[in-house]
Amino acid sequence: MAHYLIFGDSIAQGFNDLTGGWVQRLRESLTLDDYVYNLGVDGDTSDGVLTRFESELKPRLSTESKQNYILIAIGSNDSAWNNQSNQCWVPVEKYRQNLNQIIKIARKYTDKIILISPEPIDQIKVDPMPWEPALSYKTELVKQYNLAMRTVAEAEKLSFVDLFNQLPTEYIKTLDDGVHPNSDGHRLIFNLVKDVLK
């Protein structure tokens, strides 16, 4: 029996996929004895994950279990650019600090921690965001947050799923709104995540 806790934003939550997104595909790939908790929250950032992180862990995990997996898939919203204040929603250095704090807490429960990078975006469609014109997603900024997560993963010797660089070019075509993948995009994400869990 294994427990999988996935923390993230709307993409982890499965937004834009009627079959439940890449996390639901993970659930379906495991055994009936395994537990998968989708703790993705629409619009969440590393600030939000850190705030709720341990309170979400405690009721679901035992410190005695050796089969606890914690997956952290956060960063796209952190990188969102505020066109009025000219700064990212969560500055990249604060993002890095938040990841380190999240990892420190996670290690009380398991050594099976996986960091999953921000996904590529289609900047033409989201600079600015049609649903939030004060904000923009920019490829260069997402790239910076991807690098920040990679640096943390390497320093902490953790598994890292580099969605930003490893998703095939066809992934961009799955982003109807420029950010959220459709079912085909979630399948591509799942294929990369499952390889790390083997």
pLDDT tens track for 11-57? 999 999 989 999 999 999 999 889 999 999 999 999 999 999 999 99
What is the Cα–Cα distance from 80 to 128, expressed in whole angstroms?
10
User: Is the model's pLDDT at 170 over the cut of 80?
Assistant: yes
- Report pTM: 0.96
The Cα–Cα gap between 160 and 185 comes to 19
Average pLDDT over residues 149-158: 98
Strand order in the sheet with 135-136: 87-88, 81-82, 135-136
Helix-helix angle 183-197:21-29, to 10 degrees: 50
Classify strands 112-116 and 159-161 as parallel, antiparallel or unpaired: parallel
Q: Give, to the nearest 10 degrees, the angle between helix 46-57 and helix 92-106.
A: 10
What value does the mean pLDDT of the chain take?
96
